[in-house]
């Protein structure tokens, strides 16, 4: 009791500030990450920067992420290696573009005719099991997969019009590795160059156009200024891209910061969905830079039939590939039975 009285008497004399002193948090150096996106600066402002800005604001100096755009630290095709070895700490990209050494690589980006709308992607990941597959495969190679989302469809924007499949023959197009592999059977010549060089490559004749995005990106990044036509037939209805973090850096992050990072990324998906969806409609309806063309549906069915065979070939590449292809089949079977708006027509 004597000891207790002395403590209370001392506390009263010192005042409330003295009692509170032990709980004052001392400022610490912030955790700093370097983060690179697949997108160039103009596109990155819409597809990646909102998430990074939200994380930096919410973390209040405890985590500071510096954003770099396409090829600023390493070429896009080296993003995975740089992430794995810690040269960069985080990445926003599709698996195909960043040359992911995992069985999921070919299914990122634009897997031919696997999706019809951006919302197909979160459904496939969260309801049909793709998230589990992605998480497991990247955990094996020292990368933490955070989240995937859909964006725009993959259409052709070209110097000359595409009104028939024969118009694809010989076209030199900037496109994704797996999309290029698929399109090559129709005579397309895939060209692999840095993202920021694509616009100039069209002007110099090195490219005849792109099969890389929908019309929203064409206008945003300047491709609509160097091409003349936009073909409304797409080879995929939604880009599949993800956010990734170096596994060691993620493990070191306090739980409350992990929650902020995850929440900000999920919120950014919603922004991209409306930005792309609204842009696709508005620019097709009233955009003045690109003339719309299309391949007749009865002829385009050859592409759809070729995609079925392509899926069969991909399923033979291994157990994981077969599992992913089966998920796409199951989902497309459901949506085809559901009808519009889940399918076109």
Read off the pLDDT band of 17 (50, 70, 90).
Answer: very low
Q: pLDDT tens digits, residue range 129-180? A: 999 999 999 999 999 999 999 999 999 999 999 999 999 999 999 999 999 9
pLDDT, position 123: 98
Q: What is the DSSP string of 161-193?
A: ---SGGGGTT-EEEE-HHHHHHHGGGT-EEE--
Check pLDDT > 90 for residue 15: no
- Numbered ranges of CATH 3.40.190.170 in the chain: 30-151+239-282, 154-237+287-338
Instruction: Please state the pTM of the whole predicted model.
Output: 0.90
Determine contact, residues 201/191, Cβ cutoff 8 Å: yes
Residue range 290-295: average pLDDT?
98
Q: Does domain 30-151+239-282 have CATH number 3.40.190.170?
A: yes
Residue range 253-280: average pLDDT?
97
Residue range 295-303: average pLDDT?
97
Check pLDDT > 90 for residue 2: no
Check pLDDT > 50 for residue 11: no
Check pLDDT > 60 for residue 7: no
Q: pLDDT tens digits, residue range 236-266? A: 999 999 999 999 999 999 999 999 999 999 9
Read off the pLDDT band of 344 (50, 70, 90).
Answer: confident
What count of other Cβ atoms lies within 10 Å of the Cβ of residue 118? 24
Read off the pLDDT band of 37 (50, 70, 90).
Answer: very high
Check pLDDT > 60 for residue 275: yes
Check pLDDT > 50 for residue 342: yes
Residues 6+ apart with CB under 8 A from 284: 215, 230, 232, 292
Check pLDDT > 90 for residue 295: yes
Q: pLDDT tens digits, residue range 173-222? A: 999 999 999 999 999 999 999 999 999 999 999 999 999 999 999 999 99
pLDDT, position 16: 44
Q: pLDDT tens digits, residue range 69-124? A: 999 999 999 999 999 999 999 999 999 999 999 999 999 999 999 999 999 999 99
The CATH code of the domain at 154-237+287-338 is 3.40.190.170
Helix axes 319-338, 297-315, angle to 10 degrees: 150
Residues 6+ apart with CB under 8 A from 239: 94, 109, 110, 150, 151, 152, 153, 154, 213
Give the C-alpha separation, 76 to 99, whole Å.
8
Check pLDDT > 80 for residue 54: yes
pLDDT, position 328: 98
- Name which of 58, 62, 86 is nearest 74 in CA terms: 86
pLDDT, position 27: 55
pLDDT, position 14: 47
């Amino acid at each position: 009791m004597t000891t207790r009285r002395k403590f209370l008497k001392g506390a009263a004399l010192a005042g409330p500030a003295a009692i509170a002193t032990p709980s004052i948090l001392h400022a610490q150096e912030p955790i700093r990450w370097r983060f690179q996106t697949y997108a160039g600066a103009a596109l990155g402002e819409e597809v990646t920067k909102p998430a990074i800005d939200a994380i930096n604001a919410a973390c209040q100096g405890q985590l500071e992420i510096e954003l770099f755009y396409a090829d600023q630290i390493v070429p896009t095709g080296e993003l995975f290696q740089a992430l794995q070895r810690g040269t960069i700490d985080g990445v926003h990209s599709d698996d195909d573009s960043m040359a992911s050494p995992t069985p999921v690589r070919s299914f990122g980006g634009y897997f031919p005719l696997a999706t019809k709308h951006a919302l197909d992607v979160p459904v496939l990941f969260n309801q049909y099991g793709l998230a589990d597959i992605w998480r497991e495969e990247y955990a094996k190679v020292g990368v933490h997969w955070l989240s995937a989302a859909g964006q725009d469809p993959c259409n052709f924007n070209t110097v000359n019009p595409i009104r028939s499949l024969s118009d694809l023959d010989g076209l030199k197009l900037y496109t994704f590795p797996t999309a290029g592999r698929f399109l090559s059977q129709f005579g397309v010549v895939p060209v692999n160059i840095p993202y920021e060089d694509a616009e100039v490559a069209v002007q110099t004749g090195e490219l005849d156009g792109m099969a890389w995005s929908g019309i929203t990106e064409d206008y945003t990044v300047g491709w609509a200024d160097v091409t003349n036509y936009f073909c409304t037939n797409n080879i995929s209805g939604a880009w599949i891209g993800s956010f990734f973090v170096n596994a060691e850096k993620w493990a070191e992050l306090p739980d409350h910061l992990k929650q902020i990072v995850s929440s900000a990324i999920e919120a950014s998906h919603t922004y991209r969905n409306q930005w792309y969806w609204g842009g696709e409609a508005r620019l097709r309806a009233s955009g003045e830079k690109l003339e719309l063309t299309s391949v007749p549906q009865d002829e385009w069915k050859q592409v759809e039939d070729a995609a079925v065979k392509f899926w069969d070939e991909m399923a033979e590449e291994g157990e994981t590939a077969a599992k992913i292809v089966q998920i796409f089949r199951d989902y497309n079977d459901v949506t085809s039975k559901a009808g519009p708006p889940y399918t076109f027509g």
